[in-house]
Amino acid sequence: MRPLPFCCAAALLLGCAAAPPVPDKAPDTRAPQLSIGGVIADRDAPSSNWIDSRVSVAGPLDLVNYQAGYAIQGGDLLPRLADHPQTAPLLAAPSQIGGGAFTQSVATALPSVAGGKPSLSFNTVDSSTLTSAGDTQRREQHQAQLAWTTSPLSLQLQWAATQRSVADPATPLDCSLGGKVQLGLGVLGAADQSLQFGARSCSVNAPDRVAGGLGVDSWSGAWQFGPADRSGRLRFTMLETLPSTMQQSTGPAASGYELQLSQTRSAGPWTGDTAVGVRRVTEIDGAEAGQWVAQANLRREIANVAVTAGWQRDADPLWYVPGAASPVDQVAVGLDLRSWLQQRLGLSNLVNANLSYRWNESADPNLSGGAVYWNLAKSW
């Protein structure tokens, strides 16, 4: 049986584009809410939700919260119309017509334990995509999560089971078990500091790669320091890849680690964040390879409009397995029109409106293009 891995590196492993759009404000789960939104992109349209609707209802005394949603996914017609040298617009029929995804989640509060009230949640996702050949590609995911916080300790455990008929290059990991523990250092006189340890056990779902079927165990530790307007984080992550659980193994196939330092600074209308990391991978034959990654983002509030700009140097999300791609540069700019839209349409007292745009440029055509993000939410 593999040891329990410690990691919060899933977000890092899956990557994130430079200058990402600002997420919607967290909804007030104590009140019923209906929201509808989506993404219109000129690239990666099969993985974009053109329309994403959700409704949430809280039970008596906030003991139970139920949320259901349905998303309509775009096909790959728009990418074929995009003006890229690698594509032949209109000369090839789209391979994916479109699809949909139905999600449900139930969260409940458990009796208080040691001064903290644990919460237990269950989530399911059932999505399908229709191809031009008439086939249906399906993906099912079931997830359970237990969270418990009592100062200065916070604990989170997660279990998941995923089934899919086709691999998604954007999400090449299926993680079955994970957890993290965060310890605040206020009791030691360091109110703005905390330590975090995490673990995750995953498998690679990428049949077209040498890494297809490999298991991935990861351990990580992080030190968070400083107040919110000038915070920093130092994180160390170790990863170990193992052959498929269906095969016998006498030792690890490869291993790797990453050391990353990130900072966030805020001053009036300006907000900036930077990160730089060093990665090292040990192959099966003992050979070592290293690379560095970095990103820098800047946000400026101008009247009721927020302008973002960013640069990122990152690589294949499976950077720790054989055959990983070299890092590539991305440049991105974006507009957040949430406040402008609220004031312009006079919707402040009616709905929470969000509209933003992001444009990416990279030497990799798969990472270049633009997208519009929109959302309308109403609480009662």
Render pLDDT for 230-252 as a digit per residue (tens, 0 to 9): 999 999 999 888 765 444 444 44
Does residue 1 lie within any of the structural domains?
no
Q: What DSSP letter does each residue of 185-198 carry, written as one string?
A: -GGGT-TTEEEEEE
Q: What percentage of residues in the chain have a pLDDT greater than 90?
A: 31
Render pLDDT for 328-347 as a digit per residue (tens, 0 to 9): 899 999 999 887 877 777 66
pLDDT at 107: 92
More confident residue, 368 or 166: 368
| Nearest one of 311, 345, 344 to 329, comparing CA atoms | 311
The total number of structural domains in the chain stands at 1
* CATH code, domain carrying 221: 2.40.160
E strands along the chain, which residues?
33-41, 49-58, 64-74, 96-109, 119-131, 136-150, 153-164, 173-184, 193-204, 215-225, 230-242, 254-267, 270-282, 288-302, 305-314, 328-336, 352-362, 369-379
Render pLDDT for 24-54 as a digit per residue (tens, 0 to 9): 444 444 567 888 888 877 654 445 677 788 8
Does residue 300 lie within any of the structural domains?
yes
Does residue 181 lie within any of the structural domains?
yes
Does residue 278 lie within any of the structural domains?
yes
* Alpha carbon distance 71, 59 (integer Å): 24
Q: pLDDT at residue 5 above 50?
A: no
pLDDT at 261: 97
Average pLDDT, integer, range 291-314? 92
pLDDT at 20: 43
**CB atoms closer than 10 angstroms to residue 297:** 20
Q: pLDDT at residue 10 above 80?
A: no
**CB atoms closer than 10 angstroms to residue 190:** 11
pTM of the model: 0.76
Does residue 160 lie within any of the structural domains?
yes
Q: pLDDT at residue 87 above 70?
A: no
Q: How confident is the model at residue 314 (pLDDT cuts 50, 70, 90)?
A: confident
Does residue 2 lie within any of the structural domains?
no
Average pLDDT, integer, range 356-367? 83
More confident residue, 129 or 6: 129
Does residue 326 lie within any of the structural domains?
yes
pLDDT at 57: 81
Render pLDDT for 54-77 as a digit per residue (tens, 0 to 9): 888 876 666 788 999 988 877 665
Render pLDDT for 189-228 as a digit per residue (tens, 0 to 9): 888 999 999 999 998 887 777 666 788 899 999 999 999 8
More confident residue, 316 or 299: 299
CA angle 241, 175, 179 (to 5 degrees): 100
Does residue 88 lie within any of the structural domains?
yes
Q: What percentage of residues in the chain have a pLDDT greater than 70?
A: 73
What is the domain extent for residue 123?
10-379
pLDDT at 130: 77
More confident residue, 179 or 38: 179
More confident residue, 254 or 38: 38
3-class DSSP assignment, residue 61:
helix
Render pLDDT for 120-158 as a digit per residue (tens, 0 to 9): 999 999 988 777 666 777 888 899 999 999 888 999 999
* Alpha carbon distance 269, 102 (integer Å): 39
Q: Average per-residue pLDDT in the chain?
A: 78
Q: How confident is the model at residue 8 (pLDDT cuts 50, 70, 90)?
A: very low
